Amino acid sequence: MEKKAYVKPAMESETFVPNTYVAACGDSGTVYKFKCDAGYILGSGGHVWQETNDEEGLQQSGSHSDTDLGFYHPCSETHEASKTDEFVEGYLTGYLLPFPKKVIIWKGKNNDNVHCTTNLDQSSWETAKS
């Protein structure tokens, strides 16, 4: 019969370091961060039109025209807007733009202050918890 040697039990431990944040509340309190930059490269703003008639492209006149939201000038700030706020598609027109530029419009916290971004991929926008 073979004799077994005694081995003293050893305990190894690791420090837990979380590397993933999991929200238990869904999108509640989540904000988008986006830059108000439409028209900024050209140094001017223009008129913002909200896509409201479900027809492709910008229609500026007639009974089926898109909604003119008025003159807009980019503020170049990064805004934080609730993920539950309304973001709408639209267009920016101006004398320095050779054709209408597609934008995403956020009308501000009280729905009365237009901000536009040319980054049309909302899934790429930075998010944060408020």
Region 104-121: mean pLDDT is 90
Give yes or no for a contact between 118 and 70, defined as CB atoms under 8 angstroms apart: no
Q: Tell me the per-residue pLDDT of 20-44, one tens digit each, with 9 for 90 and over.
A: 555 555 556 789 999 998 876 555 6
C-alpha 30: how far from chain center: 11
Q: What is the pLDDT of residue 53?
A: 85
Q: How many angstroms separate the most distant Cα atoms in the chain?
A: 102
Give yes or no for a contact between 74 and 54, defined as CB atoms under 8 angstroms apart: no
Is the sign of the CA dihedral 35, 112, 52, 91 positive or negative?
A: negative
Residue 45 has pLDDT above 80, yes or no: no
- What are the residue ranges spanned by the domains of the chain? 30-129
Q: What is the pLDDT of residue 50?
A: 92
Ranked by mean pLDDT, which of 3-17, 34-48, 62-76 comes out on top? 62-76
Region 105-120: mean pLDDT is 90
